Each structure stands twice: as C-alpha cells, then as structure tokens.
Chains A and B, each alone.
Chain A
Amino acid sequence: MARTRFEWSIWILLAALLGTGWIVVSRSPVTESRGITLTEAPIVGHLAPTFTLPTTTGESVALASYFGETAETGQPVVLNFWATWCGPCRIEMPHFQDASLRYKGKVAILGVNQGESVQTITAYAESIGITYPLLVDADNQVNLTYNVNNLPTTVFIDRQGIVREVVIGTMSKGVLEDRIERLLREQ
C-alpha cells in the first residue's frame, strides 16, 4: 500500500486516467443500428418472436401482420403483458387505453394476458372501459416465449418487427407516450 502523499497522488491520478479512458473506450454507439442481431428473441435488437393469439372477442391476431419490410409499410407495436390480479398492471392500463385512442392507426397496442380465462379478462376490461385488443394466452406460451417473469412487462417493437425496448414494471402516462413517440420517430 502507498505510504506517502506523493504515492497516493500517483495512484489516484492513475485510477482517474485509466477509469476515464476505459469509460470513453467502452462507450456504446448511439446510432439506431446499435446491437441489432436479426434472430428472434424478446430482447432489444432482435426480431420480436412472432405469434398468433385469439382476442377476447374471438378474432385472431398475428403479430407479424403489423410489420413491413420497410419502415413505410409497417406499424410499431406495443405489447403489454398483464393480468387482472396484478395491481401495477391495473395502474397503467388506463394509460394504454388513452394511448390506443390517441395513436389510433399509427401504433398498435396489444394487451397480452397471462393465463386467465376469457370471462375474467372480459369482465375486468369492461369494468374499466378497455377497448384495445386483449389477447388470451391461456397456456402462457407467448408469456414464456417473451420470458415474462414480472408483471407488467411492456415490449416496444418498431415497424420492422425489431424489439426496441423492454420495460419491466409500471409506466407513467408520460413515460409511455415518450416511448411511443420514439417509435414513431424511427424510420
């Protein structure tokens, strides 16, 4: 260990220089193409795993149908994994409802329920006035595919089907709209 003031100064200076240098060297690129790896995975930079699920009204929704080969032809998707027993999910669902109306035709907002019955989902959705599509994942296969361990989990997917962000936990209305605006700005 250093014994004199001079030796300590050298060590501290060295730590500052090496530490700052390492931070600069390991800085992440800020371009939009950062880290994109075109395999299917529920993590940022990968293609969102595709699925087809029924809604509470019996229609079939295929995730792939929202995406295009170019930025002009596709539509961003916000996947919100939730359950009626999940308090934090209930907090943010009105924000998703507001966003579904505000961004109608620009962004698809889909609620993916975790393992509950159509009756349970429908009763809750009607009680709080949810009108965006609620998908029924009765056997939890899509929840497992998206590695959803905590509710709520929200996956933001761009127009080309690439996962841009995964948010675990409740979002405020401001945060949700900020993320949606970011998706809309991306070309």
Chain B
Amino acid sequence: MYPSINLGPFVLPTAPTVYLLGVWLALSAVERAAKWLKQDAEWSYGVAATAVFVGFIGARLSFVYIYWAAFRENLLGIVWPLNTGYNIWGGIIFGIAAAFFYGRAKQLPLAQTLDVLIPGLIIGLMAVSIADFLAGPGYGTLTNMPWGISQYGVRRHPVQLYETAVGVAALFIWWRTSQLRLFNGQLFLITLATYSAGRLFVEAYRDNAWVTANGYHIVQIISLISLLATLILLARFSLSERPKPKH
C-alpha cells in the first residue's frame, strides 16, 4: 500500500525501515523486560542481539549454500547487494542456535531468559506484519465490514493489522502476568499461548495464505500445535512443584 515514503529528495522504502525499527524496538523491549523482571539486562540483551545478528548472517549463508552454483563465480555477490536473497529457515535455525550457545556460555537460566526474550520476539513478529501491510504481497479475504481496507478497487480484511493487534494483546498479557506470575517460564508460555491462539484465529482472514494441498492454512496448524504445547507445559509446571520467581 505504501512501499515508500518521500522525505524531500529522499525515498525511504517502508518495509526495510519497519524491519530495522522492529529490530531496535525488539532489542529495547528485551532490555526493559530484563530490568522489569530484575534479570541481568546486559546479558539478556546480548542473547537477543546475538540471535538477530547470527540469524541474519545464517539466513544469507543458507541462501548462498542452496544456490552455491550461482555464487561460485561471483563471490562478491555473497556480501553485496543484501536487499534480497535470504533463507528464512536458515536464519531461524542459526538464530536459535546462537541464542542457545550464548545462554549456555553465560550460564543463563533458561526459563527466566525466555520470559525476558518473548516480548522482543512478539515485537519482531509485529514488525513483520506491519511491513507486510505497508509494502508486502499479503492481503486479506474480501469483506463488506466497515473496517475493511480498499485495495485495487475491492474491500479486504486488513489481516496484517489483525496480526498486529494479536501482538499487542500478547504483550498486554505478558505485562499483566508479570505482576502475578507463579513460576519462572510462565510469562513465556502464557504470552506464546495468547499469540498462537490469536494467529490461529486471524489467519483465517488471509487470502494468500500458505496452504496445504487440501487448503488448510499452514500457519493455523503451526499455531494450534504451539498453543497446545504451551498449554500442556503450563499445566505441567502449574501442577508440579513451582520454583518461585526471583525478586
């Protein structure tokens, strides 16, 4: 809808701008969450920043590996230009691995660290939704509802804004639960469960959804698995002997 913003003589591409803003806000959120939960802010920030940085490099290297034949005679192409050519799954695997090893090296407690990291993850996912809304290829199903947005002459559900609203709800739940939490890891699980349930619901309104051969939305299936897994873990930890949060 708004692929670029004109600032005088400069043209600012909205999607990369939102991604950069999202990374900055996500890292800031992790730092603030660490302070709020009385965790080590420096190390928590370190985990998140390492995951983002290594994830970025991992996504690029995975792409280069897959298309090595094309890069073999153009080695400069590995490092420039960087506007496209990333493998998202490679990025996720490298990012998680980096965060894991960083946490192990610094001997960070897993549950408390996840409690601190989850607001950053949610903000990152919200940035992806907003970038998709402003300049991405995604779009919602047709609607006559008054809040539908007009795209190329037809009214559609603003599905990316629904996703963003789900993120806001998950962050609110994180903040509320942080004042009442019973055990370490609870914030992570409840926030992830809220986000998963929300995405499970709103993904139905995405018209260009990633679907199986039978038409089932893959993001909905992943969300349901995530929701059930988090609920089972919440039940298990709630019913077992609970470690008290460190205040």
Interfacial residues, chain A to chain B (CB-CB below 8 A)? 1-5, 8-9, 11-12, 15-16, 19-20, 22-30, 35, 37, 39-41, 43-46, 85-88, 90-92, 147, 149-152, 166, 168-170, 172
Contacts and interface: CB of A to CB of B under 8 A. Distances in A.
Nearest to B71: A91
B83 A86 contact: yes
What is the predominant secondary structure among interface residues of chain A facing chain B?
loop
Given A43-B139, A88-B84, A170-B67, A28 B211 contact: yes
16 contacts: A19-B200, A19-B223, A27-B215, A27-B216, A27-B217, A41-B152, A44-B207, A46-B152, A86-B84, A91-B71, A92-B70, A149-B3, A149-B13, A169-B85, A170-B67, A170-B84
B235 interface: yes
B57 interface: no
B137 A168 contact: yes
A86 B77 CA distance: 9
Shortest 8 CB-CB contacts between residues of A and residues of B: A41-B152, A26-B204, A8-B235, A91-B70, A87-B77, A19-B224, A88-B85, A28-B215
Interface residues of B, number: 52
A90 B214 CA distance: 35
A102 B77 CA distance: 28
A40 B80 CA distance: 35
A12 B232 contact: yes
